[in-house]
Chains A and B, each alone.
Chain A
Amino acid sequence: SAVISQKPSRDICQRGTSLTIQCQVDSQVTMMFWYRQQPGQSLTLIATANQGSEATYESGFVIDKFPISRPNLTFSTLTVSNMSPEDSSIYLCSVHDVGGSGNTIYFGEGSWLTVV
Chain B
Amino acid sequence: ELKVEQNPLFLSMQEGKNYTIYCNYSTTSDRLYWYRQDPGKSLESLFVLLSNGAVKQEGRLMASLDTKARLSTLHITAAVHDLSATYFCAIWIYNQGGKLIFGQGTELSVKP
Contacts and interface: CB of A to CB of B under 8 A. Distances in A.
A48 B97 contact: yes
A103 B31 contact: yes
- Interface size classification for chain A: 20 to 34
B78 interface: no
Interface string B82-106: 0000001010100011111111110
B70 to A, nearest CB: 18
29 contacts: A31-B97, A31-B98, A41-B105, A43-B43, A43-B88, A43-B90, A43-B100, A43-B102, A44-B102, A45-B101, A48-B96, A56-B97, A90-B42, A94-B100, A96-B98, A98-B98, A103-B31, A103-B50, A103-B92, A105-B33, A105-B92, A105-B100, A106-B45, A107-B35, A107-B43, A107-B45, A108-B42, A109-B42, A110-B41
